[in-house]
Amino acid sequence: MSTITIPKKLAARDDLIVIPRKEYEALLALKPVKEFIPTTAQKRALIRAQKNRKAGKSLTINELRKKLGFTN
């Protein structure tokens, strides 16, 4: 069995993570996910939707289905 010494600096700041090499390599192999950056129009639409929801001007999915004539 191998023995390792963990520097107190790392242990004190919770900066140490120990994982198997294969898991680490799999993590490195993951491709970064492209971040979604909303357009100005999408930001305005989101703000409008948030205001409508806060004002109670929203429908649940079941209410929407009923208004559109769909059955559950």
Question: Where along the chain do its domains lie?
Answer: 38-72
Q: How far apart are CA 10 and CA 7, in angstroms?
A: 6
Opening angle at CA 39, ends 38 and 43, nearest 5: 70
The structure's pTM equals: 0.44
- Digit-by-digit pLDDT tens for the chain (72 residues) are 788 888 777 777 777 788 899 999 999 999 888 999 999 999 999 999 999 999 999 888 999 999 999 875
pLDDT at position 72 is 58
